[in-house]
Amino acid sequence: MTYLKKIEQRIKEFPDMPAMSRTLLQSLEDPDVDFKQLEEQIQYDPGLTSNVLRLANSAYFGATGTVNSLRVALMRLGTRRVTEVVTAIMVSPMMLKSLSGYGLRSQDLLQHSVWVAVASEELAKLMGYRDVKMLFTAGLLHDMGKIILDPFVRQQKDQLLQEQLSESFDQREVDFLGMSHAQAGATLLSNWNIPEEITATAKWHHDPESAPEYPEQVNMVHLADILGYSEGIGAGIDGMKYRVSPVAHKRLGLKKSDIEYVASLTLDKMNELESLLT
Amino acid sequence: MPYRIVDISDYKISKNSGDILVTYSLGSCVGVVIYDPMVRIGGMIHCMLPLSKVDRNKAEQRPAMFVDTGMQLMLNQLFESGVRKSRLKIAVAGGAHILNDDNLFKIGERNFTVLRKILWKNSMLMNVQDVGGNISRTIRLHIGSGRFTVKSQGTEVHYDLPQKD
């Protein structure tokens, strides 16, 4: 069986999102959702309830004063944030395992993903982009494909790391495995019926210029990703072997000091969220 | 032997000969090791950005995030604990870059430049330099022996920091 076939097989067999979060995410998409109804759905799961409360009380999600009741937490976060928080809680356990093919220790993928989620939002804020839909989640889920590809990367490690190669690592994945982690992640997420902004971001995060839609999400996540690798956050064997799109940051008008400022803001926020999600 | 992990934007100093200081995953960040073989005291720092002026608030809270404020802090503390400048051995690793070394993301190069200037101003020499390229590195310092190792993509290189001049 070719690697491509094996990858497709693995995507198919990969566990689905928990059914409960699917229903919850659907009701969150309804703009007229009733908070009481939401509260009932979440309360049903004590683990989820306590996690939502913890995140609602985090500095990152803008807590002022302690919130003890789920109802208040939901009101304070608003439906959009609740969606992002619930998705993060549901998906982060999948990102805890080490990925030995990529040379990532346990939690490295989660740490990198949280970095990208936070740094994307910080970039957007700094550059005056408001209301970039699903940016946090798009950042958080951009590398899910690495979980799919990891066993095959492990088998082809020597090929993928040949000294003379100058292609970026996602292109090497296509050359030696038949599919990049970006594409694998996008396919997985679309099987999960995750909103399109997020799926598209996963797919184009190493090639933002080719993205047909959602340029803000794709560009921010691309830059946040490269910045994370630069700073060694969850950078395994592939970390420094990517290219930054010259178009992405010109489009945003970024300066060196902007990039460094975002990096300085992101580290502590990442640490906070990572510890809340593990 | 007990590993003592130096997190990103942090530093540690040790005089316990059983300790091994380690910092993981240096990309563009620079890792600096300073060691005095006479008293067997060593320090390790993992700085992510070159200059503190980019975020003064952060520099107050986390001076080791930046090469300028971090190096100053670690050096002061080393000198206070009995390290002498004339005996110092210095090893530097990291400062890598991504494939297309785009100006905006030359953080590694800027980190290394600032570090070199600081060392130069203080008339301090680097004994070991393992910097640049597109690889991420893990470094260790064995306090008892002064052994310094750099690991990257599964290969580990050992350097024995010179014992005496």
ipTM of the complex: 0.91
Average pLDDT, chain B: 94
Instruction: Confirm or reject contact between B4 and chain A (CB < 8 A).
Output: no
pLDDT at A123 over 60: yes
Residue B165 pLDDT greater than 60, yes or no: no
Q: Determine the average pLDDT of the residues in A136-141.
A: 96
Q: Is the CB of B25 inside 8 Å of chain A's CB atoms?
A: yes
A182 found inside a domain: yes
Residues whose CB is less than 8 angstroms from the CB of residue B100 and which lie 6 or more positions away in sequence, other chains included: A243, A244, A246
pLDDT of A63 reads 67
Min Cα–Cα distance to chain B from A98, Å: 15
What value does the mean pLDDT take over residues B103-122? 94
Verify that A165 and A66 share a domain, yes or no: no
pLDDT of residue B163: 64
User: Given the structure tokens 């690991």, which residue do they identify?
Assistant: B151
Identify the CATH number of the domain in which residue A127 sits: 1.10.3210.10
Instruction: Give the residue among A143, A88, A79 at the shortest CA–CA distance from A277.
Output: A88
Q: What pLDDT digit, counting tens, does each position of A205-216 carry?
A: 999 999 999 999
For residues A83 and A126, state if they share a domain: no
pLDDT band, residue B27 (cuts 50/70/90): very high
Q: Domain check: are A120 and A233 in the same one?
A: yes
List of chain A residues whose C-beta atoms are within 8 Å of the C-beta of residue B68: none
Alpha-carbon gap, residue B107 to B85, rounded angstroms? 28
Please name the residue of chain A whose CA is at the shortest distance from the CA of residue B59. A264
- How large a percentage of chain A has pLDDT more than 90? 69
Give the confidence band of B124 by pLDDT, cuts at 50, 70, 90. Answer: very high
Question: What residues pair up with B75 in beta bridges, in sequence order?
Answer: none
The sign one gets for the Cα dihedral A256, A259, A263, A265 is positive
Residue A205 contacts B, CB cutoff 8 Å: no
**Could you tell me the sign of the dihedral formed by the alpha carbons of B101, B102, B107, B111, in that order?**
positive
Residue B5's φ and ψ, nearest 5 degrees, are: -85, 130
**Does residue A2 fall inside a structural domain?**
no
Q: Are residues A213 and A239 in the same domain?
A: yes
| pLDDT tens column, A216-271 | 999 999 999 999 999 999 988 998 999 999 888 888 889 999 999 999 999 999 99
Rounded to whole angstroms, the Cα distance separating B151 from A51 reads 37
**Does A75 share its domain with A158?**
no
As a whole-number percent, the residues of chain B with pLDDT over 90 amount to 87
Check CB contact of B126 with chain A, cutoff 8 Å: no
Task: Tell me the percentage of chain B whose pLDDT exceeds 70.
Answer: 97
Q: Do residues A108 and A82 both lie within one domain?
A: no
Cβ of A240 under 8 Å from any chain B Cβ? yes
| pLDDT tops 80 at residue A62 | no
Is A262 inside any structural domain?
yes
Are A168 and A270 found together in one domain?
yes
Mean pLDDT (whole number) for B18-26: 96
Q: What is the mean pLDDT of chain A?
A: 92
Domain identity same for A76 and A44: yes
> Each residue of B42-95: pLDDT tens digit?
999 999 999 999 999 999 999 999 999 999 999 999 999 999 999 999 999 999
Range of the domain at A190: 96-278
CATH architecture label of B3-160: 2-Layer Sandwich (3.30)
**CA-CA distance, A205 to A113, in Å (whole number)?**
13
Tell whether A66 and A110 lie within a shared domain.
no
Residue A113 lies in a domain: yes
B2 to chain A, closest Cα gap in Å: 19
For residues B17 and B40, is the Cβ–Cβ distance under 8 A?
yes
Interface test with B, best of A229, A269, A275 (most B CBs within 10 A): A229
Residue A134 falls inside a structural domain: yes
Q: Are residues A148 and A59 in the same domain?
A: no
Same-domain check for residues A103 and A89: no
B3 in contact with A, Cβ within 8 Å = no
Percent of chain A residues topping a pLDDT of 70: 99
Alpha-carbon distance of B13 to B31, in angstroms, equals 13
**Rounded Cα gap, residues B42 and B33, in angstroms:** 7
Q: For the residues of chain A, what is the DSSP string, one character each?
A: --HHHHHHHHHHHSPPPPHHHHHHHHHHHSTT--HHHHHHHHHT-HHHHHHHHHHHTSTTTT--S---SHHHHHHHHHHHHHHHHHHHHHHGGGG-S-BTTTTB-TTHHHHHHHHHHHHHHHHHHHTT----TTHHHHHHTTTTHHHHHHHHHHHTHHHHT-TT--S-HHHHHHHHHSS-HHHHHHHHHHHTT--HHHHHHHHHTT-GGG-SS-HHHHHHHHHHHHHHHHTTTT--SSTT-----HHHHHHHT--HHHHHHHHHHHHHHHHHHHHHH-
- In angstroms, the Cα distances linking A269 to A61, A163, A234, B69, B118 are 10, 36, 15, 21, 29
The number of distinct structural domains making up chain A is 2
- Please state the rounded mean pLDDT for residues A94-116: 96
Q: Is residue A34 part of a domain?
A: yes
A237 with B153: Cβ contact below 8 A: yes
User: Which residue in the set A233, A242, A249 is minimally distant from B104, CB to CB?
Assistant: A249
d(CA B72, CA B121): 12
Mapping DSSP onto H, E and C, the string for chain B reads CCEEECCCCEEEEECCCCCEEEEEEECCCEEEEEEECCCCEEEEEEECECCHHHCHHHHHHCHHHEHHHHHHHHHHHHHHCCCCHHHCEEEEEECCCCCCCCHHHCHHHHHHHHHHHHHHHCCCCCCEEEECCCCCEEEEEECCCCEEEEEECCEEEEEECCCCC
In angstroms, the CA A122 to CA A221 distance is 11
**CA nearest neighbour of B160 among B143, B147, B145:** B147
State residue B91's pLDDT score. 97
Confidence bin at A29 (pLDDT 50/70/90) = confident
pLDDT band at A80 (very low <50, low <70, confident <90, very high): confident
**Is B102's CB within 8 Å of A246's CB?**
yes
Mean pLDDT of A53-59: 91
Residue A268 lies in a domain: yes
Q: What is the mean pLDDT of residues B134-152?
A: 95
Check CB contact under 8 Å for A264 and B29.
no
- Residue B13 to residues A207, B4, B35, B130, B144, Cα–Cα distance (Å): 42, 10, 10, 21, 13
Query: 0.80 cut: is pTM over it?
Result: yes
As given in the structure block, the two tokens for residue A21 are 């979060």
Would you state the pLDDT for residue B100? 85
β-partners of residue B53 are none
Is pLDDT above 80 for B119?
yes
Contact A229 B27 (CB under 8 A): yes
Q: pLDDT per residue over B94-107, tens digit each? A: 999 999 867 888 99
The CA distance from A141 to A147, in Å, is 11
Partner-chain contact B49 A242, CB within 8 Å: no
Would you call B25 and A161 a contact, using CB atoms and an 8 Å cutoff? no
Contact A238, B135 (CB under 8 A): no
